[in-house]
Amino acid sequence: MSAPASPADLYRHSLRLLLNKDVTAWVALWAEDAVMEFPFAPEGRPRRLEGREAIAAYMRPYPDHIDLHDFPDLLIHETTDPQTIVAEMRGVGRVVRTGGTFDMTYIAVVSVRNGRITSYRDYWNPLAAPVGTDFAGSSR
């Protein structure tokens, strides 16, 4: 049995899964009791998802809204906790509904235990989300 991937390696792998639109495999990287938080979520959007199933339900329709092509400018910073990283990146692609450009900047604080994501705080700016993403405002 091999050692669990480092938090940075696990995070890079998770991004590859999102680019491949493999949400099922992406969700499998999460601990059963994981928490995903969106501190800047607009009214009408969740600020906290508790548990792998809630995260899966939230992420399942993601590829129907955003066709991701790349995560350029990825920087991963280690912290004083060896199981926690801070990731800076851009997500670029296409808004499925409108065909418009998708280009968002993200900062995420990600914690990993036993090779699974346990905590993910996503500091994205909902005011910058392109129209038609279903992740901007409460237009769902």
> Which tokens belong to 16?
């590859």
> pLDDT tens digits for 45-63?
899 999 999 999 999 998 9
> Percent helix, strand, coil in the chain (nearest 5)?
25, 35, 40
pLDDT for the residue numbered 130: 59
pLDDT for the residue numbered 59: 93
pLDDT for the residue numbered 49: 97
Is 92 within 8 Å of 68 (Cβ atoms)?
yes
Q: Which residues of 10-40 are buried (b: 16+ CB within 10 A; e: fewer)?
A: bbeebbebbeeeebeebbebbbeebbbbbee
Which residue positions in the chain have pLDDT lower than 70?
1-4, 127-140
pLDDT for the residue numbered 2: 53
Domains of the chain: residue spans and CATH: 7-128 (3.10.450.50)
pLDDT for the residue numbered 16: 96
pLDDT for the residue numbered 125: 77
pLDDT for the residue numbered 88: 97
As a whole number of angstroms, the distance between CA 22 and CA 137 comes to 25
Say what the pTM is.
0.87
Determine the length of the chain.
140
Closest C-alpha among 76, 83, 34, 80 to residue 55: 34
**Which residues, in sequence order, are CB contacts of 89 under 8 Å at separation 6+?**
15, 71, 72, 73, 74, 75, 105, 106, 108
Our CA angle for 103, 35, 117, nearest 5°, is 75
